Amino acid sequence: MWKLIASTALVALLTGCASVTVATYEDADLVFDPIDFFNGPLVAEGVVRGRNGEVSRYFNATIDARWDEAGGVLDEVFIWSDGERQTRVWNFERVGEQHYRGTAGDVVKPAEMRFAGNAVNMKYVLAVPMANGNTINVTMDDWLYQVNDKTLINVTQMSKFGIRVGEVVLTMRKL
């Protein structure tokens, strides 16, 4: 029992020390601007990987994006590899300099979006539907990196009770 407690404490300590913030990227040559990037049609393509790294699903999405000084809306429609169609409408409000708060129908804990340089980080809790009809709440840690004026690359770590359960990797492009 003590070994389990000591191991858990060590993992928590090491994970806490390894945190990266968006401020790490504030001197990047490219600067993300949500008003510029999140206006107009976007497309996204991506994969969901399980804890072991195996791809379990992939998707294509269209996004109708509208943004101004007060916040924005991202109206997303996903078409999954198994034929499922899913819609998520994000509503973001500005709560500070380079800081927005976002909500959506399946978001249990609102997203905190912060950005600096070419990096964007969003942390939130998402209700994920399961095959048996139930849902589980999963913590999402999104990192988006703008690589040019039309493209973001997104890597999202998914965790439950602090344990990594998978990830989403996608590209998002302005049309």
In a domain, 8, yes or no: no
**Residue span of the structural domain in which 143 resides:** 21-174
Which pLDDT belongs to residue 4?
42
How far is 121 from 29, CA to CA, in rounded Å? 18
In a domain, 13, yes or no: no
> Which helix or strand (DSSP H or E) is residue 34 part of?
helix 34-37
Amino acid occupying residue 114: R
In a domain, 58, yes or no: yes
In a domain, 5, yes or no: no
**Which pLDDT tens digit goes with each residue over 91-122?**
999 999 999 999 999 999 999 999 999 999 99
The whole model's pTM is what?
0.85
Secondary structure class of 41 (helix, strand, coil) = strand
Cβ partners under 8 Å of residue 133, min gap 6: none
In a domain, 30, yes or no: yes
**Which pLDDT tens digit goes with each residue over 155-164?**
999 999 999 9
In a domain, 145, yes or no: yes
Give the sign of the dihedral formed by CA 71, CA 73, CA 120, CA 22.
positive
In a domain, 114, yes or no: yes
Domain count, the chain: 1
Residue 30, domain CATH? 2.40.128.20
In a domain, 6, yes or no: no
Which pLDDT belongs to residue 19?
79
Give the sign of the dihedral formed by CA 49, CA 102, CA 39, CA 27.
negative
Residue 113 to residues 77, 94, 144, Cα–Cα distance (Å): 21, 9, 10
Q: Which of 21-30, 44-53, 87-96, 115-124 has the lowest mean pLDDT?
A: 21-30
